[in-house]
Amino acid sequence: MTKSWKAMALSLLVVTGLAGADDPIDGPERTLGLELWSDLLGEHREFRVRLPTAYHEDPERRFPVFYVSDADWNFPLVAETLDYLAHWGRIPPFIVVGALNVSRNRDFLPRADAAFPSSGGGDRYLQHITEEWIPWVDARYRTSEHRVLFGHSFGGVLVLNQLFTDPGVFDAHISLGASVWVADEVVLERAGRFFDEKEDVEGWLYLSVGEGDGGATVPAGRKLADLLDARAPDTLEWRHSVMPRETHFTNVPISLHRALAELFPTWGDDEALAQQARSGGADAVESWFSDRRDRLGWRFVPQGLDLGLAALRLVLDEHQAAGFAAFDAIQSALPDSPEVVQLRGQALAGVGRVPEALSAIDRALKMAREGGYHEDSVRRFEDYRKRVAGADSE
């Protein structure tokens, strides 16, 4: 490999990271207002639904669903956050469904509390969720079997009550600023009874409160974390965080992002893949991908750019077999990613395999144009192709 080819391959590293589809984050018929009559609650319930951009682009694809309590307040934040992260490939695209409130005290608290009028109907509301709301959503949209439940404050109590009542309904539970203290700490009581009755339960839970959360919320949350630490089985994956310098409300956006980062963990994947590849070669690459898929299942979301850059560096650092094995695995997981194909072209150019490099770059260009990528990104791909072709003709 000559230094000039290697330098040319490295020259587009930062440019590739700027590529992205030029599709709008929002579009027509993606955010809907719907209504359902609930026989269990004896009333009409209103909902908001946000469909991902990919919903209309791929009519065969099915999508996980993110269920949101307190949609009056939380739906815009959650829907836009999920849209943004899915747009950049950080998480899978979700159908987001949020329920507008009728009576939070009644619906979210499973035991009456004299300080909160009408409270105590939380168990009936859980029945509404599992017997009416979820089937209603599944009947109308192309949903997959994966679901996440999100709630804040009393909504966080709802999430915990669901987990400690029927943990199999949702794959993940996100409970922020949960009022664990409410109704004589009914959540702690139910959690203790739950672990008395179940020795092996699978699930995923993220708990978070702000350091400045008022009243008993922080200490009660720590009591729940202590109980989980002492009694939760290893099959229940959980996290508890006290966010510094955050309040009951400012904690929500930062902890939503943190929860998603924990649910779909990717930090350090590029370095972990590179280390395993350097020590074990191409077979170790296959093993790394297999282990991640086995451990995370639907939560494994390969980061094309990060892993592609790791694969490129492997090729340029004299680990060609491992690097190209990594490209094969990444492209198998992300078949529609022009960035990954372009990076493969850079790797091929870097080791002097110019015809193959040009073929890969041409494919990346075709994918980018058909995928609506911004013209600046397409032009950079074109410029790089000219440089590779020109250098080869010199």
- Print the domain residue range for 115: 39-263
Residue with tokens 């099959």: 235
Q: Which two tokens stand for residue 195?
A: 């672990």
Name the nearest CA neighbour of 346 among 303, 394, 393, 383: 383
Determine what percent of the chain is predicted with pLDDT higher than 90.
84
Question: Into how many domains does the chain fold?
Answer: 2
Secondary structure (DSSP) of 80-118: HHHHHHHHTTSS---EEEEEPPS-HHHHH-SS-BTTBTT
Q: What is the distance between the alpha carbons of residues 55 and 292, in angstroms, rounded to a whole number?
A: 26
Q: Residue 326: which CATH number?
A: 1.25.40.10
225 and 365 together in one domain: no
Number of Cβ atoms within 10 Å of the Cβ of 63: 21
29-49 pLDDT, tens per residue?
A: 688 999 999 999 999 999 999
Q: How far is CA 101 from CA 70, 256, 262, in A?
A: 6, 20, 28
Q: What is the distance between the alpha carbons of residues 368 and 345, in angstroms, rounded to a whole number?
A: 14
Secondary structure (DSSP) of 214-235: -TTHHHHHHHHHHHHHHH--TT
323-364 pLDDT, tens per residue?
A: 999 999 999 999 999 999 999 999 999 999 999 999 999 999
Tell me the torsion sign for CA atoms 264, 265, 270, 272. negative
> Over the chain, what is the mean pLDDT?
92
135 and 49 together in one domain: yes
238-296 pLDDT, tens per residue?
A: 999 999 999 999 999 999 999 999 999 999 999 999 999 999 999 999 999 999 999 99
Q: Is the pLDDT of residue 16 over 60?
A: no
190 and 281 together in one domain: no
- Residue 23: band (very low, low, confident or very high) from pLDDT cuts 50, 70, 90: very low
pTM (predicted TM-score): 0.92
Tell me the torsion sign for CA atoms 174, 177, 182, 184. positive
Residue 28 lies in a domain: no
Residue 224 lies in a domain: yes
Q: Is the pLDDT of residue 61 over 50?
A: yes
Q: Which two tokens stand for residue 231?
A: 């009694």
58 and 150 together in one domain: yes
Helix pair angle (338-350, 375-393), 10° resolution: 20
Residue 33 lies in a domain: no
Residue 216 lies in a domain: yes
259 and 271 together in one domain: no
Q: 286 Cβ partners below 8 Å, 6+ apart?
A: 325, 329
Among the three residues 241, 263, 285, which one is the final residue of a domain in this structure? 263
Name the nearest CA neighbour of 79 among 27, 38, 131: 27
Residue 277 lies in a domain: yes
64 and 208 together in one domain: yes
pLDDT at residue 320, as a whole number: 97
Among the three residues 263, 289, 306, which one is the final residue of a domain in this structure? 263
Residue 339 lies in a domain: yes
